[in-house]
Structure formats: C-alpha cells, structure tokens
Amino acid sequence: MLWKAKLPYVWIILFIAASVYLVKVGIDVTEYTAQMFAGNVSFSGIILPFIIYSVGTLLLSSVNGIFKGICSAKIDRALRRMVWSKTVSLPFGFFQSNDPKELITRITNDISSISKIVMNVFVGFLISFYTVFSLVRQVGSYDPRLMWVMVIMLPLDIIIAIIMGRLNFGINDRLNWSFARLNRTISERVSQSLLIRSFGTQESEEKRVEGLSTDYRKNQIRSTWINNLSSPFSTMTYCMKFILLLLVGRHFYGGGMISLPEWIAFFAFSTQLTTYISSYTTDWINLKAAMGSTERVSEIIDTPSEIVDQGKTVEELSGELRAEDITFGYGDEPLFEHLSVTIPVGLRTALVGSSGSGKTTLLNLFAGLYDLWDGKITVGGENITQYTRRSYRSQLNYITQECTLFSGTLRQNLLYGLRREVGDEELNAACEQAGLLDYVNELPAGYETEIGEGGSALSGGQRQKLSVARMLLKKGNWLFMDEATAAMDASAKAQVWGATESLSEGCTCLFVAHDRQSVSYAQHVIVLEKGRIVDQGPTDEVARRNAYVGSLLHADVREEG
C-alpha cells in the first residue's frame, strides 16, 4: 500500500540525514557535558565547543522538526490521494455493499493514523536503529563489557512493547469501529431531520445516538486504562535499569577500568538509550493499535478497480439496445435469469412494474454499471464490453432516481461533467425547457447561488428540474431516466416531458415510471414482474391486454375526474 502511495522519498531522506547528523552532534554534546561534570572546565577545549554544539543542536532540531512536519503532511496527502483515487475507481457494486459514511472515516481518520505510523514507526525505526547503534558503539569504545550491559537491558523494553501492543490492537480496533458507527449514524440523522420530526422519533433517535456514544465512551475508557497501565511497567523497568547502571558504572570506575568522565558519559548514554527505546516502543504500541485502520484501508486498496479504459473508444452509439440471455443478481440470488429484451431505436420506452421487479437494476445494467453474471448487452449487435466503459457511458444521458447534486453553485451543478464552454444563453434555454428558469431569475445571485449539500436548498421538484436541465445541456442520442419527474407537479411534468419529447426525437429514451402522466408519454412499454418480462409492446396495445398497465393509465384519470 505504501509503495503505491508514491511517498515523498526525497523529503524523507532529508529528514533521516538531518536526524543522523543530529545523533552525531548529540553524542559530542554528551561527551563535553561528561567532561564538565568530571571537573574539566577548560574554556577553549570544553566550554566553548559545548556552547557551539548545543546551539547547533537546537538549530538543527528546529530544522529537523520542519522536515518532519513537511514529511508528515506530504505522506498524509499521498496516502489520502491514493485511497481517494482508488475509491472513485471502484465498481458500482462496492458502494452497494459498503456504507459510504464508514468509507468517509477510512479516508479521514484511518489515513491520519497510518500516516503517523509511517513517520513514527517505519522511518523512526531507521533513526532509532542508528541511534542505538551509535550509542552502544560509543560506550563500547570505553569498555566492550559496558556495551554488552546496555545490550542485555534492551529485551525488557521490547517485552513490554509486545504485551502492550497486543492489548492496544484489540481495544483501538473496537474504538475505531465504534467511532465509525457513531459518525455514520450522526451524519445520516442530521441530513434526515425532517423525517425524524415528521415521525416524532426524536426521543428514539436520542437514545440511538446515546447508545452508540456510550459504546464509544466505554471503548475510550478501556483504551485509557490500557495506555496508562503501560506507565507503571515503564517506570519499574526504568528504575531497575537505573540501579543496575549505577552499580555497574560504579564497579568499573572503582576498579579503574574507566575514567570518571567515561562513567558519567556511560550513565548519560544509557539514559538516552532508554529514552530512545521507550519512545520507539511507544510508537510500536501505536502501530499495533493502528493495525485495524491499516486493514480497513487495505480492503479498499485490495478491491479490484473498475476497468474503464479497456477496449475501443465509441464515438457514437447507434442501433438497437438489447439484453441477450442475461443473468444477474445481488448476493447469491439471481434477480434476472436468462432474460432477453430489445429496446426499440428512436422510441420512448417505459419500464413499468411493481417495486422490486428489477426496473432500476435493468436500467443500470444497460448503463454498464454492473458486470453481468452471464449473457451480454449489445448496441447495434456490438457487445458493450467491447467499448471502454468511459466512452460508452459518455454517450448516455442518465438521470438517476436520487437526482444527485453536490454542494456548490447552480452553475457548477448544471455544468458538471461537461467538457465544453457553455454560456448563459444556453443555460437559460436548458433551464427554461426544464421549467427551472423562473426560479433562477428570482434568485439575487442567479446561477451563482449556493444550493447546499446535496442540493438541500432546493425542493425535490427543483432538484429534478436541475437534473433534467443538466441532461439537456449534455445532449446525446441516449436518454436514461429513473423516475426523473416523480417529485414534480402535473404542469412541471408536462413541461419537462415536452422538452424531453423534443430532445428525444430520433433518440432512444428508456425510463422508469410509476404514474399515468409519465407512462402516457411512452411509445413502447416493457412490463417487469419479479425479474421477468411479462409483457411488452406499443403502449396502447399493452394497456389493452395487461391489467397492471391498464389500471396505471386509467386510475389517475378517475382520480382527477
């Protein structure tokens, strides 16, 4: 995963080089400090070099801190860019089986945890290894036996790191998951405040979030217990090593095997070694704690991307759209089994049927959003898998059931996905056809009006009109619409269908509909029931022989009368 992220290796090397030089300077400062503690106060030989090296260490530490901050920021950006690039290239089915709210946590919190681990553990390991090696080698220059004393003490810190790391891994994984569930629930409920109030479920929603908050709090407390339990173990280990170092150093100095400055330096280097090891073992504990984040992000990275540029580029689609003996479903159960159907060229074809019959799924299959289990979909006899998915989808005008919009201005949403310049005159024409222009003209900022997250500042009908206007601007010979006018009143529907009727002349238009007004604009009807086609043909003929279509076309007439 790190290899794919294209980390800022130049900056990392600069940071490591500065850290290595800082270790060397730090050893010299300790040597001069030991000389002064031993009574050597020569100004030119000891004090002046000590001052120069100390000031240099402070300056170098500041520069090194800047390098580290730059490295961390660049690593965080590289990882997040990699994961986001992977996320937007995943197949459509991935988002059907994974909660988008939890994906947000993976791209934000989990990535931040991983980027910290890269600097503190992986890069930190190289620096810590060099530091330990340098300190041990320096002590070995006094007496090799002192070096082995320091080496023997290392396993104590390592054992503590292993124990605490295992404990932290489990609790932090649960902590991250409980946070993801809490974040997802709050995000959903905030955006559905109208539903909560209209159903009077404020109290139950309060309890729901309170329960998730309680679960998160419990995991936080468990994490606090485990993290703080490491402190007594570290303190006891430090005390044991302090006494041992004091006794060993006193023995070597009393026996005349080392000088007084060397004894002081040995004690100082041993203390530094303990600090470095303790610091790194803490980072190792954090690594174990972050393994849950790493696994969740790796799931995204390991998921095969949708291949959108394999095949030949299609400049213009023409011919009949056909599903030939297709089989497809969700999970293990097929929705369509050996289904075949033809969408007539240049006609407005309606997909009708009860909820769950497979209308939207069939529309998505024609749009190339899912991989078939078996069979093929063709246009003019050509299997659509022969084309690049990018070029094939670029030929389609598709208004989804959700009328997806982004936060930003009206203009930005109207022009989304267009790769050409569009002036206000063309915008006005499209919005007028979609029945949106009067609304735009009433706004003080016009097309520069912010519409809020998901178009929250617009009504349901206005969102659908905006989606229709965007379709009109895109143009094209293939129109796919999934209940694109469901939120509009009768007059708005008539206006939109009039514009669509004009646009769809000579085009193939396939749409999902549930109401009389929409179905009445269809020239051809396909009736679905539980994944099977039970009837199809010209609208009038199907209405005469199919009770469902007949009741659909005439029920609203009776109600209006």
Domain at 341, CATH number:
3.40.50.300
- Of the listed ranges 166-180, 242-256, 289-303, the one predicted with least confidence: 166-180
Percent with pLDDT over 90 in the chain: 9
Residue 82 and residue 185 in one domain? yes
Do 226 and 347 fall into the same domain? no
Q: pLDDT-based confidence at 560, cuts 50/70/90?
A: very low
Average pLDDT on 275-289 reads 66
Q: What is the mean pLDDT of residues 447-474?
A: 82
Cβ neighbors of 148 (< 8 A, separation 6 or more) are none
- Among 56-60, 347-351, 390-394, 460-464, the range scoring the smallest mean pLDDT is 460-464
CATH number at residue 79: 1.20.1560.10
Going by pLDDT thresholds of 50, 70 and 90, the confidence category of residue 281 is low
**Residue 545, domain extent:** 321-560
| 108 closest CA partner among 187, 165, 168 | 187
**Selected residue with higher pLDDT from 328 and 149:** 328
Do 293 and 347 lie in one domain? The reply is: no
On average, the pLDDT of the chain sits at 81
Give 219 or 321, the one with higher predicted confidence.
321
Of 302, 331, 363, which marks where a domain is finished? 302
pLDDT at 282: 64
Same domain (yes/no): 406, 482? yes
- What does residue 479 show for φ and ψ, rounded to 5 degrees? -115, 120
Instruction: Single out the residue of 420, 360, 422, 359 nearest to residue 394, CA to CA.
Output: 420
Q: What is the pLDDT of residues 484-509, one digit of tens each?
A: 666 667 776 777 677 666 665 667 88
Specify whether the CB–CB gap between 528 and 351 falls below 8 A.
Answer: yes
Domain count within the chain: 2
pLDDT confidence band for 462 (50 / 70 / 90): confident
Are 103 and 167 members of one domain?
Answer: yes
Domain assignment present for residue 76? The answer is yes
- pLDDT tens digits for 248-265? 777 877 788 888 888 788
The answer to whether residue 316 sits within a structural domain is no
Is pLDDT above 60 for 557? no
**Per-residue pLDDT tens over the stretch 399-438:** 877 777 888 888 988 888 787 888 888 899 888 888 888 8
* Residue 97 included in any domain: yes
353 and 290 in one domain? no
Q: Using CB atoms within 10 A of its CB, is residue 363 exposed (0-12), middle (13-18) or buried (19+)? A: buried
**What percentage of the chain carries pLDDT values higher than 70?**
86
pLDDT score, position 240: 74
Token pair of 239, please? 């005390």
Burial label, 181 (beta-carbon count in 10 A; 0-12, 13-18, 19+): middle
Residue 556: predicted pLDDT: 45
Are 298 and 351 in the same domain? no
User: pLDDT (tens digit, 9 = 90+) per residue, 294-342?
Assistant: 777 888 888 888 887 888 888 888 888 999 999 998 878 889 999 999 9
pLDDT at 375 > cutoff 90: yes
Residue 310 in any domain: the answer is no
Same domain, yes or no, for 329 and 222? no
Position 126 confidence tier, pLDDT thresholds 50, 70, 90: confident
Confirm whether 4 is domain-assigned. no
- For residue 359, tell me if it sits in a domain: yes
Residues 326 and 270 in one domain: no
pLDDT of residue 503: 62
342 and 207: one domain? Answer: no
Whether residue 307 is contained in a domain is answered as: no
Whole-number pLDDT of residue 319: 83
pLDDT in tens, 67-119: 988 998 898 888 888 888 888 888 877 777 776 666 777 787 788 878 888 88
pLDDT digits (tens, 9 = 90+) for 298-311: 888 888 888 878 88
On the 0-12 / 13-18 / 19+ scale of CB atoms within 10 A, 393 is middle
For 105-168, the DSSP string reads: HIIIIIHHHHHHHIIIIIIHHHHHHHHHHHHHHHHHTT-HHHHHHHHHHHHHHHHHHHHHHHHH
Residue 333 located in a structural domain: yes
Are the C-beta atoms of residues 181 and 212 closer than 8 Å to each other? yes
β 321-330/396-399 pair status:
unpaired
Pick the range with the lowest mean pLDDT from 34-43, 320-329, 383-392.
34-43
Say if residues 99 and 106 touch (Cβ distance below 8 Å): no
Q: Are 397 and 286 part of one and the same domain? A: no
CA dihedral (287, 289, 294, 297) positive or negative: negative
Query: Do 554 and 495 fall within a single domain?
Result: yes
Residue with more model confidence, 361 or 472: 361
- Which of the listed residues 274, 302, 330 is the one where a domain comes to its end? 302
CA–CA separation, 346 vs 366, rounded Å?
A: 16
Three-state DSSP state, 525: strand
Please identify, among 302, 331, 353, the residue that sits at the C-terminal boundary of a domain: 302
- Asked if pLDDT for residue 526 goes beyond 80, the answer is yes
Question: pLDDT class for 191, splitting at 50, 70, 90?
Answer: low
